[in-house]
Structure 1
Amino acid sequence: MIFNIQQNIHIHSIKITSVGNSSVFQIGSAGIIKPLSQLANTGGYTEPAPQLESDFSLPTGQQAVILPPTKVSRN
């Protein structure tokens, strides 16, 4: 099935507050978004990173808070 889509998109302002490892920012239509992973040694490191001294843990009596995703405002 073939779709022909014509779009006129006018963006006056865009604010991106967070970008993660698996982020996708799309404007308009896309037939396929293919995953791509690239590893780059931009710091020119020649040795592995040092191991952590201890496992990460929260202080006693505290809980992790998982926040919901932020909503995009269309002003």
Structure 2
Amino acid sequence: MNFFIHQNIVIHNLKIDGITNSSVCQIGSAGIIKPLSQLYNTGGFTEPAPAAGPMPETSSAEFIPLVPLVEPSR
């Protein structure tokens, strides 16, 4: 049995709050989603990275992220 799906999708605004290495964003239908993961050594590194040092100390009790983040909109 063959199914023929004709779609017309219009997206005016798409907001993605978070993304990870294994995220999938699907719009529309798909018969099969085949996972694919490729890892490349584009920097030509020959040995593992050095161990991370201690986290920097902050003078206040407030958490300060290492990556600047924007306030979520309501």
* TM-score normalised to structure 2 length: 0.59
1:23 equivalent to 2:23? Answer yes
Match of 1:60 in 2: none
Letter in 2 for 1:13: N
Identity %: 70
Larger RCO (CA under 8 A, 6+ residues apart)? 2
Q: For structure 1, which runs of at least 5 residues remain unmatched after alignment?
A: 54-75
Report how many aligned residue pairs link the two structures.
54
Alignment of 1:36-47 (within 5 A): 36-47=36-47
Q: List runs of 5+ in structure 2 lacking aligned partners.
A: 54-74
Match of 2:61 in 1: none
Give the AA of the match of 1:26: Q
User: Which residue is equivalent to 2:12?
Assistant: 12
AA of the residue aligned to 1:23? S
